[in-house]
């Protein structure tokens, strides 16, 4: 199990390093405000950079394009950009609608997680009374009477 965790951590580190590489090589396309990227840009990146691991590139692109900032750029931004930040075509209505749906779902999940848990008053358990001590002996069921007088 620890091997799976270390593999997952290593993959995550590689993907984050890939994002850093993309930001360094293409600062206008992978800017902090995350503009909407041109369709097929990952193929252009792979063709221009054969040294990059294709699987890590795909995961990095998925991570980049799934952010709230990127989805807002697709939903409300004027144009997509190429690798060098040059404006290209506008996102289609379907792409905008899909981005709005994903944003709505993401923000609803996020807001649901941030909401405080409903106030529930826990039921306080009532203490159970201790059982009466049992009498022992042959006549345990009969109460004992004492004929002795109390000395006054």
Coil, strand, or helix at residue 87?
strand
Between the alpha carbon of residue 82 and those of residues 14, 27, 79, 88, 127, the distances in Å are 24, 11, 10, 7, 71
Instruction: Please name each of the domains of the chain with its CATH number.
Output: 2-114 (1.10.1710.10)
Task: Say yes or no to pLDDT of 142 above 90.
Answer: no
CB of 63 within 8 A of CB of 11?
no
Task: Say yes or no to pLDDT of 19 above 70.
Answer: yes
Q: What is the pLDDT of residues 76-104, one digit of tens each?
A: 999 999 999 999 999 999 999 999 999 99
Q: What is the pLDDT of residues 21-71, one digit of tens each?
A: 999 999 999 999 999 999 999 999 999 999 999 999 999 999 999 999 999
Give the per-residue SS3 of 112-132: HHHCCCCCCCCCCCCCCCCCC
Distance CA 91, CA 78 (A): 8
């Amino acid at each position: 199990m620890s091997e799976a965790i270390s593999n997952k951590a290593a993959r995550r580190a590689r993907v984050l390093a890939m994002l850093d590489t993309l930001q360094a090589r293409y600062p206008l396309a992978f800017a902090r405000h995350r503009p909407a990227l041109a369709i097929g840009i990952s193929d252009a990146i792979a063709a221009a950079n054969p040294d990059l691991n294709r699987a890590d590139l795909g995961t990095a692109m998925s991570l980049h394009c799934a952010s709230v900032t990127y989805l807002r750029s697709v939903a409300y931004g004027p144009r997509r950009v190429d690798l060098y930040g040059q404006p290209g075509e506008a996102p289609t209505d379907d792409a905008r609608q899909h981005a709005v749906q994903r944003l709505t779902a993401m923000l609803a999940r996020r807001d649901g997680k941030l909401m405080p848990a409903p106030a529930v008053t826990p039921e306080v358990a009532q203490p159970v009374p201790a059982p009466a001590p049992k009498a022992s002996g042959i006549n345990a069921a009969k109460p004992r009477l004492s004929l002795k007088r109390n000395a006054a």
